[in-house]
């Protein structure tokens, strides 16, 4: 049989053009890259406790990079700022799902459309009974394939187990370090529970007259530390850096004693005037009436910190706060606005009897006779004495509570 004219001169039985097989694992240049969506539920206030979630983010972004995928991102999603920054760090292209490019009505969540339109989905943290979990189940009902992956983690609020039962691919992170996230590194950190109950087994409070001292209490750090920019903190979280590890009130005190500085902040004061805050209320009274401030997700006082004699603070520029209505700030000279604190709605800030200094405070100005550190545990006193040039006292008076930071 004579072959058709257009096939003459070709070898082999088939005259149809063919595409060469690509055995390298990379996508052929003529094929549109897959869209890869990385999604998560809201991460909460304390991002330092989400090291496992950020580890899954790193893996997902690198998988997209190696497979030649494009990361699909949309404003208004919990994962968007983290995915965009991770894409920059790992050099992965992104595509934006904008309002103009959306196909679904505005009543449908952006996450739902993102999950529906992506060729592949990596869910790095999914809360039970949330919108992300519902959108993933909807996708699993429509697509019976291996394109939907869900991270399996130790968090009891994770919906991973049920999603796997619905058809998702369970995604485990190999060689994950067995470190308690509340402690960070074993052996040198204390948990919130230890913070609250440790004073019961501690030594007596110092014999000092607390009314003569101003006290600065340290707190657990849930966000960026003093001197760290927002992007630096974000990068530390994404890359798993040491500076993103959980910081307990004890860790914060260790840092202060090592550096010799109290760094200024402005979370509850005017952002234009970073300050260091003290209280003139005797520490035992502060700890007995301490309150969990849900608005900022933390206790107002902890049994860790530094006390300085009031006369020394006054000599070094520390001054009492001026309380009043917001409109009354202007009555103060402009160079004294940093002392002003607006009266709270439902919170009587005056009870704190706050004192402030403008800017960071150099503890090297304080002699060992005029200041001391305080902790609730005797073993912490022993570990601190090696780095502190000031006396360290173990104090009582921290009531037990089960409240934790979310």
pLDDT of 179 higher than 50: no
Specify the pLDDT at position 177. Answer: 46
Residue 154 has a pLDDT of: 84
Q: What is the model's pLDDT at position 82?
A: 96
Q: Under 8 Å CB-to-CB from 398, ≥6 apart: which residues? A: 195, 196, 197, 198, 199, 287, 290, 302, 303, 376
Mean pLDDT of 339-362: 88
Chain-centroid distance, C-alpha 241: 13
Q: Hey, CA dihedral for 119, 124, 130, 133, is it positive or negative?
A: positive
**Secondary element (H or E) of residue 372:** strand 371-375
- Which domains can be identified in the chain, with CATH numbers? 27-171 (3.40.50.450), 192-394 (no CATH)
User: CA-to-CA distance for 271 and 281, rounded, in angstroms?
Assistant: 25
Phi, psi (rounded to 5 degrees) for 332: -85, 150
Average pLDDT, the chain: 80
User: Which pLDDT score is estimated for 66?
Assistant: 93
Dist. CA 126–CA 119, nearest whole Å: 19
Burial class (CB in 10 A: 0-12, 13-18, 19+), 240: middle
The 10 Å Cβ neighbour count of residue 315 is 11
Q: What share of the chain is helix, strand, coil (3-state, %, to 5)?
A: 35, 20, 50
Q: Which residue intervals of 44-203 are DSSP H helices?
A: 51-67, 80-90, 110-117, 131-142, 160-165, 192-197
Radius of gyration of the chain (CA): 28
> Rounded to an integer, what distance in angstroms lies between the CA atom of residue 228 and that of residue 217?
20
pLDDT of residue 269: 52
C-alpha torsion 102→104→107→113, nearest 10? -70
Q: How many helices (H) and strands (E) does the chain have?
A: 11, 19
- How much is the pLDDT for 333? 92
pLDDT in the model for residue 406: 36
Contact residues for 105 (Cβ-Cβ < 8 A; gap 6+): none
Model confidence at 13, pLDDT cuts 50, 70, 90, reads very low
pLDDT per position as a tens digit, 51-106: 899 999 999 999 999 999 999 999 989 999 999 999 999 999 999 988 776 766 66
The 275-279 sheet, strands edge to edge:
319-320, 354-358, 275-279, 213-217, 305-309, 371-375, 392-394
The contacts of residue 8 (CB under 8 Å, 6+ apart) are none
* Reported confidence tier of residue 313, pLDDT bands at 50, 70, 90: very high
Q: 113-170, pLDDT tens digit by residue?
A: 999 999 999 999 999 999 999 999 999 999 989 999 999 988 889 999 999 999 999 9
Ranges of beta strands (E only) in 103-255 are 120-125, 148-151, 169-171, 213-217
- Residue-wise pLDDT tens digits, 190-199: 444 344 433 3
For 123, phi then psi, to 5°, come to -95, 110
Measured distance CA(77)–CA(387) in Å, rounded: 44
Rounded Cα distance between 200 and 197, Å, is: 6
Distance CA 21, CA 23 (A): 6
């Amino acid at each position: 049989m004579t072959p058709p004219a257009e096939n003459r001169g070709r070898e082999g039985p088939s005259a149809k053009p063919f595409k060469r097989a690509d055995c390298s694992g990379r996508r052929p240049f003529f094929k549109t890259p897959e869209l890869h969506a990385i999604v998560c539920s809201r991460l909460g206030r304390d991002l330092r406790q989400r090291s496992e979630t950020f580890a899954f983010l790193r893996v997902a972004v690198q998988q997209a990079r190696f497979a030649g995928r494009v990361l699909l991102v949309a404003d208004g999603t919990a994962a968007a700022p983290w995915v965009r920054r991770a894409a920059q760090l790992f050099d992965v292209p992104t595509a934006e799902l904008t309002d103009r490019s959306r196909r679904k009505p505005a009543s449908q969540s952006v996450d739902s459309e993102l999950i529906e339109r992506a060729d592949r989905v990596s869910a790095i943290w999914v809360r039970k009974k949330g919108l992300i979990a519902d959108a993933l189940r909807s996708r699993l009902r429509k697509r019976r394939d291996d394109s939907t992956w869900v991270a399996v983690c130790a968090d009891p609020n994770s919906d991973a187990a049920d999603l796997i039962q619905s058809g998702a691919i369970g995604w485990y992170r190999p060689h994950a370090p067995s470190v308690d996230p509340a402690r960070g590194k074993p052996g040198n950190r204390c948990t919130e529970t230890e913070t609250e109950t440790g004073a019961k087994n501690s030594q007596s409070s110092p014999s000092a007259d607390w009314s003569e001292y101003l006290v600065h209490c340290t707190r657990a750090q849930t966000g960026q530390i003093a001197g760290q920019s927002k992007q630096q903190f974000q990068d530390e979280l994404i890359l798993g850096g040491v500076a993103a590890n959980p910081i307990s009130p004890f860790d914060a005190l260790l840092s202060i004693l090592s550096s010799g500085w109290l760094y200024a902040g402005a979370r509850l004061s005017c952002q234009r005037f970073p300050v260091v805050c003290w209280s003139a209320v005797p520490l035992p009274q502060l700890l007995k009436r301490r309150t969990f401030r849900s608005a900022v997700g933390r206790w107002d006082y902890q049994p860790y910190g530094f006390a300085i004699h009031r006369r020394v603070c006054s000599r070094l520029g520390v001054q009492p706060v001026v309380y009043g209505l917001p409109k009354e700030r202007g009555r103060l000279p402009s160079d004294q606005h940093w002392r002003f604190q607006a009266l709270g709605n439902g919170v009587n800030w005056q009870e704190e009897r706050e004192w402030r200094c403008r800017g960071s405070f150099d503890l090297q100005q304080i002699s060992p006779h005029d200041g001391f550190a305080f902790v609730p545990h005797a073993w912490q006193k022993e570990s601190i004495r090696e780095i502190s040039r000031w006396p360290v006292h173990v104090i009582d008076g921290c009531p037990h509570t089960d409240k934790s930071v979310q």
